[in-house]
Amino acid sequence: MKIIYLFIISLLWNAGLFAQKQANADTLLGKKVKCNCEIPGSKIEIIEFKFDVAVKDIIDKHRFCGYNYFQLYSAKKELKMRLLEQLLSFENDTSVVCMKVHAYWKGLVDSIDQIRQTNYPVNVDALYHINFIFFGFYAGYYAPFPVLYDTVTNEEINNDINKVKEVYRYYKEWHEQCKKNNFKNYSFPLLNTRYRWRFGHTKEVKMEELPILRGEVLKTTGRPKNRLE
């Protein structure tokens, strides 16, 4: 019976994938899933289709290991707004992410040797998703590593729940300001604060509107970089 069940799920999954190629995302949901990309833990998976909600724990586990999105960037703004609020609700989740810290900006791959924290919690994972969703290509420019950093104490703070909460406060204030401007001409949340993402740039880049990525940029954005590329 189990084999028959998995066969049916597989057929439904393939049918769903075909339909997804023909349509834009009909939902955006951040779902915490158990995974083991490099270490046992959890990860936030962004679900883009209602069909995926029921079967995502069974099929397609490899998609958890990064920040690539298929249809998210072309989704309606309203879906992205609800997803942003949901991701901010992971503020107190300190469970470990099933991925190790990687570089997400090619020019800083070698800086990984200076990173002390080799893993990160789900609340940091949620913020990292927000970076990619709302800054696209520039996410890696501002946040090349999923490691938060206090420029006053010169410390990595992924595991300091109180300081991570402060970072969340800045993201929430940024969210409220962006809503007033309908997400037009907005900047990165941590500019002009004591916090930044480790080795991230601080030069302001204005986002005229929500990013829409296509083609090769879509494929490579959110994918861990390595020295061999």
41-46 average pLDDT score: 92
Boundaries of domain holding 102:
2-220
Q: Greater confidence, 52 or 101?
A: 101
Of 44, 45, 49, the C-alpha closest to 27 is 49
Would residue 208 count as lying in a domain?
yes
Residue 87 lies in a domain: yes
Number of domains in the chain: 1
Q: Is residue 227 part of a domain?
A: no
User: Region 116-140: what's the mean pLDDT?
Assistant: 96
User: Which candidate, 222, 191, 210, places its Cα nearest to that of 106?
Assistant: 222
pLDDT tens per residue, range 129-187: 999 999 999 999 999 999 999 999 999 999 999 999 999 999 999 999 999 999 999 99
The model's pTM is 0.85
The verdict on residue 203 lying in a domain is: yes
Domain membership of residue 228 (yes or no) is no
pLDDT at position 6 = 38
